């Protein structure tokens, strides 16, 4: 029988190899992930090849802000693979999920229907004015949009972060410049975010789970509104 133990990441469990979250929607899979019962509770395996946040956990996350009641703005939620694991973790919190594609948004709605803490919004993260009235400040902004202008989009949304809040920018190097060295892209992204007044907590490459991707983790200074 497999035994799962809590990790030092709140709400994340491990069997010594893989990470798991406790399933908020018991019996329901979101993306074909393995379900496992331990101590009478059901858990979902978090696949680092399908989720950049799980890849970041495997590589070592510099700071883990997600707790039971955390409020998160999630940009580029797609069909809810990663968002569903955050929904497991932040069960008493809120996930404001922005997604631009109506095709995947329909799948996101199917996932959110069983998860009261997920608030899906069909919209463009590059136009935050369209959703700014829906919520106040959040503790975390998480972005994974795989667009050329992913840094300017992130900077527009950082205004939703409360003082001391954390930002996770999942960088797809090839979307920014297909010809450049990924390491040069990550360096430039980190510089741009620092120049915007954010404190850099870490830049973590996500290979081999996510090829040519890195997670850049930043913090909004406590005194910054």
Ligand X SMILES: C[S@@+](CC[C@H](N)C(=O)[O-])C[C@H]1O[C@@H](n2cnc3c(N)ncnc32)[C@H](O)[C@@H]1O
Which residues are at the interface with ligand X (CB under 6 A)? 51-52, 75-78, 81-82, 98-101, 104, 124-126, 144-147, 153
Which is nearer to ligand X, 39 or 159 (by Cβ)? 159
Considering the complex, what minimum distance in angstroms separates the CB of residue 163 from ligand X? 25
C-alpha 94/C-alpha 71 separation (Å) is 5
Which is nearer to ligand X, 34 or 41 (by Cβ)? 34
Considering the complex, what minimum distance in angstroms separates the CB of residue 221 from ligand X? 26
Which is nearer to ligand X, 15 or 31 (by Cβ)? 31
Q: C-alpha distances in angstroms, 5 versus 13, 18, 20, 26, 43?
A: 5, 11, 10, 19, 11
Considering the complex, what minimum distance in angstroms separates the CB of residue 54 from ligand X? 9
Exposure pattern of 140-169 as b/e (b: 16+ CB <10 Å)? bbbbbbebeebbebbbbbbebbeeebbbbb
Give the angle subtended at the CA of 95 by the CAs of 30 and 79, to the nearest 5°: 30
Considering the complex, what minimum distance in angstroms separates the CB of residue 40 from ligand X? 28
Considering the complex, what minimum distance in angstroms separates the CB of residue 187 from ligand X? 22
Burial tier of 120 (Cβ tally within 10 Å: 0-12, 13-18, 19+): buried
State which residue has the least CB distance to ligand X.
Answer: 76
Q: What is the DSSP letter of 27?
A: T
Considering the complex, what minimum distance in angstroms separates the CB of residue 215 from ligand X? 12
Which is nearer to ligand X, 101 or 194 (by Cβ)? 101
Give the angle subtended at the CA of 56 by the CAs of 92 and 223, to the nearest 5°: 65
With contact defined as beta carbons under 8 Å apart, do 172 and 151 qualify?
no
Which is nearer to ligand X, 38 or 192 (by Cβ)? 192
Which is nearer to ligand X, 78 or 169 (by Cβ)? 78
C-alpha 171/C-alpha 113 separation (Å) is 29
- Chain centroid to Cα 75, Å, comes to 8
């Amino acid at each position: 029988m497999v035994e799962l133990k809590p990790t030092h990441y709140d709400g994340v469990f491990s069997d010594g190899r893989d990470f798991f979250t406790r399933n908020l929607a018991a019996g329901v899979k979101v993306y074909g992930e393995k379900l496992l019962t331990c101590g009478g509770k059901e858990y979902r395996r978090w696949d680092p090849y399908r989720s950049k946040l799980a890849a970041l956990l495997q590589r070592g996350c510099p700071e883990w802000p997600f707790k039971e009641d955390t409020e998160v703005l999630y940009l580029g939620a797609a069909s809810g693979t990663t968002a569903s694991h955050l929904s497991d973790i932040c069960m008493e919190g809120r996930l404001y999920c922005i997604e631009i594609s109506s095709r995947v948004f329909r799948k996101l709605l199917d996932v959110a229907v069983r998860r009261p803490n997920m608030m899906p919004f069909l919209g463009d993260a590059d136009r935050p004015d369209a959703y700014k009235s829906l919520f106040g400040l959040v503790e975390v902004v998480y972005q994974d949009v795989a667009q050329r202008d992913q840094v300017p989009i992130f900077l527009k949304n950082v205004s939703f972060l409360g003082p001391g809040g954390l930002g996770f920018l999942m960088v797809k190097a090839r979307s920014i410049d297909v010809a450049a060295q990924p390491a040069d892209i990550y360096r430039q992204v980190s510089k741009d975010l620092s120049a915007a007044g954010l404190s850099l907590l870490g830049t973590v490459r996500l290979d081999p789970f996510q090829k040519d991707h890195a997670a850049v983790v930043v913090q909004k200074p406590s005194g910054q509104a």
